[in-house]
């Protein structure tokens, strides 16, 4: 027989998602990592990851596309650490992309990232990657459709302009 969903049941489910695992890295430094990745945190990673790409493409930062491409795997790792561990210094605010890349490089150079990422459940990491791929495809499709619509609208405008100019010369 089916059970009624109660507030107590929901609170228990939420508590399960909040479980942490204590790990030790680099000469016995303690780090707490999430056992299960919350979908809301995965969504934050996706939005930030794609926003960083967009800001660079629109030249809203001094970071070049080449610099970003070299750093993107590391940036994803830094975002994972930000959302699913208690590693300090990784900002929630991604407006300063140069700072994000510098922190990413520090996490890579100090081997912090390479010591923590393998400690996460591989299924959880795969879930993040799948959601990023899906979001990228959906955004790409949306942008393609938007570009086609804009081209059609622009074409209609230029056709109307030609008609107006033709009418004026008659």
pLDDT tens-place string over residues 67-124: 888 888 899 999 999 999 999 999 999 999 999 999 999 999 999 999 999 999 999 9
- Gyration radius of the chain over CA positions: 23
Q: What is the pLDDT of residues 36-64, one digit of tens each?
A: 999 999 999 999 988 998 898 888 999 98
CA pair distance 46, 79, nearest whole angstrom: 9
List the chain domain ranges. 18-169
Q: What is the pLDDT of residues 5-41, one digit of tens each?
A: 999 999 999 999 999 999 999 989 999 999 999 999 9
In whole numbers, what is the pLDDT of the chain averaged over residues?
86
pLDDT of residue 68: 85
Q: Quickly count: other Cβ atoms within 10 Å of residue 97's Cβ.
A: 21
């Amino acid at each position: 027989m089916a059970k009624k969903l109660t507030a107590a049941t929901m609170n228990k489910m939420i508590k399960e998602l909040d479980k942490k695992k204590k790990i030790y890295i680099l000469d016995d430094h303690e780090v707490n990592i999430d056992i299960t990745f919350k979908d809301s945190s995965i969504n934050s990673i996706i939005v930030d990851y794609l926003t960083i790409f967009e800001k660079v493409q629109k030249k809203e930062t001094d970071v070049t596309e080449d610099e970003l491409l070299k750093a993107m795997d590391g940036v994803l790792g830094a975002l994972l650490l930000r959302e699913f561990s208690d590693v300090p210094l990784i900002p929630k605010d991604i407006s300063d992309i140069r700072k994000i890349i510098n922190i990413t490089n520090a996490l890579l150079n100090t081997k912090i990232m390479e010591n923590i990422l393998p400690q996460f459940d591989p299924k959880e990491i795969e879930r993040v990657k799948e959601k990023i791929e899906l979001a990228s495809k959906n955004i790409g499709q949306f942008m393609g459709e938007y570009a086609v619509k804009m081209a059609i609208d622009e074409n209609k405008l230029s056709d109307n302009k030609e008609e107006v100019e033709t009418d004026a010369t008659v």
